[in-house]
Amino acid sequence: MKKDGNVWRVQVYVKGARDSGTFATKAQASAWAAMRETELRSQKETGIVVGKTCRDAFDKYEKEISKAKRGYRWEALRLDLPPTLASIFPLMF
């Protein structure tokens, strides 16, 4: 927690989840930080990343891992199937 001009900025980091906020008073910032930390600790671990899709994972895999493989071209084509073709090849997804 630190003073940033006329506001108090607080950052919370629990179990890999980050959150931050700005408040007019230090007391408000402390109260919010305590409440938010409790919320983050009590959240059930689902393994689901909010805001990310399967397409994002495929794109990251293609750029970071698949490029180094010998069969990159074909793997990239399989990863880039449109959603309509995904229903034809259900084992690929």
Residue 78 — very low, low, confident or very high, per pLDDT cuts 50/70/90? confident
Structure tokens at 89: 């090849």
Q: What is the pLDDT of residue 44?
A: 65
Q: Judge whether residue 52 has pLDDT over 60.
A: yes
Name beta bridge partners: 4. 7
Model confidence pLDDT, tens digit, residues 7-43:
999 999 887 888 899 999 999 999 999 998 888 888 7
Structure tokens at 22: 């700005």
In this structure, what are the phi and psi dihedrals at residue 44, rounded to the nearest 5 degrees? -75, 140
